[in-house]
């Protein structure tokens, strides 16, 4: 499913610019993706499109308490990355909630950081938010950060 999401990001300007699901499923099948993966990805995208995008009130003295299930699903690497994104003002509180919602439906537990980054990318892409090239590069990179000795 993640490969399909990356393919869509790389081939369509925004989430609404791709063909209807039936035509898109045929196109993805012709490219070589499996039918079950296509169905899963299109369902996931449909839920993303229908996610509420209401801005949440954000106060500097407010905190987000994560459920045990959320922390287990995120794992320490994805959790730290999510906190970093929000503290660096790269995502809003509302986008954070959409990211968590989309992560919770994945089969992986915990979600590997490279998959988590793709979810973040898809949420930002769905918001039709301008993405700095360096941010896109980071979100698409599968390499672990370099360790300084």
| Whether residue 41 is found in the same domain as residue 62 | no
Q: What is the DSSP string of 86-111?
A: HHTTSS-HHHHHHHHHHHHTSS-SSP
| Whether residue 13 is found in the same domain as residue 76 | no
| Whether residue 25 is found in the same domain as residue 43 | yes
In the chain, the number of structural domains is: 2
Domain around 16:
1-50
Q: What is the CA radius of gyration of the chain?
A: 16
The reported pLDDT for the residue numbered 54 is 54
Please state, in angstroms and rounded to a whole number, the distance separating the CA atoms of residues 94 and 58. Answer: 9
Residue 81 is classified by DSSP as H
| Whether residue 78 is found in the same domain as residue 131 | yes
The whole-model pTM stands at: 0.77
| Whether residue 21 is found in the same domain as residue 92 | no
Tens place of pLDDT per residue across the chain (149 aa): 888 888 888 887 666 666 788 888 898 999 899 999 999 988 888 888 877 655 555 555 668 899 999 999 999 999 999 999 998 888 888 899 999 999 999 988 999 999 999 999 988 888 766 667 667 777 777 654 433 33
| Whether residue 45 is found in the same domain as residue 62 | no
């Amino acid at each position: 499913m993640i490969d399909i999401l990356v393919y869509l990001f790389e081939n369509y300007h925004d989430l609404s610019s791709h063909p209807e699901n039936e035509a898109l499923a045929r196109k993805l099948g012709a490219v070589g993706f499996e039918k079950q993966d296509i169905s899963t990805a299109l369902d996931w995208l449909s839920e993303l499109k229908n996610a509420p995008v209401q801005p949440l009130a954000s106060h500097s003295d407010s905190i987000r308490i994560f459920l045990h299930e959320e922390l287990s699903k995120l794992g320490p690497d994805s959790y730290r990355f999510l906190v970093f994104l929000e503290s660096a003002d790269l995502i809003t509180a509302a986008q954070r909630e959409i990211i968590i919602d989309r992560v919770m439906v994945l089969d992986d537990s915990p979600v590997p950081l490279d998959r988590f980054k793709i979810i973040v990318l898809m949420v930002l892409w769905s918001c039709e938010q301008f993405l700095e090239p360096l941010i896109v590069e980071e979100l698409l990179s599968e390499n672990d950060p370099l360790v300084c000795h």
